[in-house]
Amino acid sequence: EVRLVQSGAELKKPGESLRISCKSSGFTFSRSWIAWVRQTPGKGLEWMGTIDPGDASTSQSPSFQGHVTFSADKSLDTAFLQWDTLRASDAGIYYCARLTHYFGSETYYVFDLWGQGTAVAVSP
């Protein structure tokens, strides 16, 4: 079955570190792009960035650059999202999603497969 399975909910304190995971199955992980998307009540869905597990290259939204780190372990078919220093404002639901491109009259980039989400709470 083609799927992305994310790690479980987290409750952390401001200043702590955190790494959440996204394990793929049913498709070639190293030939895919994995994106991270945050969802919060105030800002809705926000694309954070994308990693190419094949060469570990990343593309990040300026809104998140420098605050989070994307990584991937091809041997585990797993992508990771990491914070070294959490803030209260990092609370939200984090989704990993496969970024796929379809070719037509143009090249269409879509998030065609999503993990179930990881809820992150940050509170003193």
Partner 1 sequence: DIQVTQSPSSLSASVGDRVTITCRTSQTIGRLLNWYQQKPGQAPNLLIYGASLLQTGVSSRFSASGSGTTFTLTITSLQPDDFATYFCQQSHLSPWTFGLGTRLDLK
| Residues near partner 1, by CB under 8 A | 44-47, 59, 61-63, 95, 97, 102, 104-106, 108-112, 114-117
Largest Cα–Cα distance in the chain?
A: 51
Cβ at position 20, least distance to partner 1 in Å: 14
Report the residue number, 92 or 115, with the smaller CB distance to partner 1: 115
Rounded to a whole number of angstroms, the minimum distance from the CB of residue 22 to partner 1 is 11
From its phi and psi, is residue 48 left (phi > 0), alpha (psi between -120 and 50) or beta?
alpha
Q: Smallest distance, Å, CB 33 to partner 1?
A: 12
Cβ 1 to partner 1 shortest distance, Å: 14
The arrangement of strands across the sheet holding 78-83 comes to: 3-6, 18-25, 78-83, 68-73
Could you tell me if 48 and 68 are in contact, meaning their C-beta atoms sit under 8 angstroms apart? yes
CB closer to partner 1 out of 29 and 95:
95
Give 85 or 108: the residue with its C-beta nearer to partner 1: 108
**CA dihedral sign, ordered 70, 8, 28, 32:** negative
Nearer to partner 1, 104 or 124 (CB): 104
Pairing of the two strands 18-25 and 10-12: unpaired
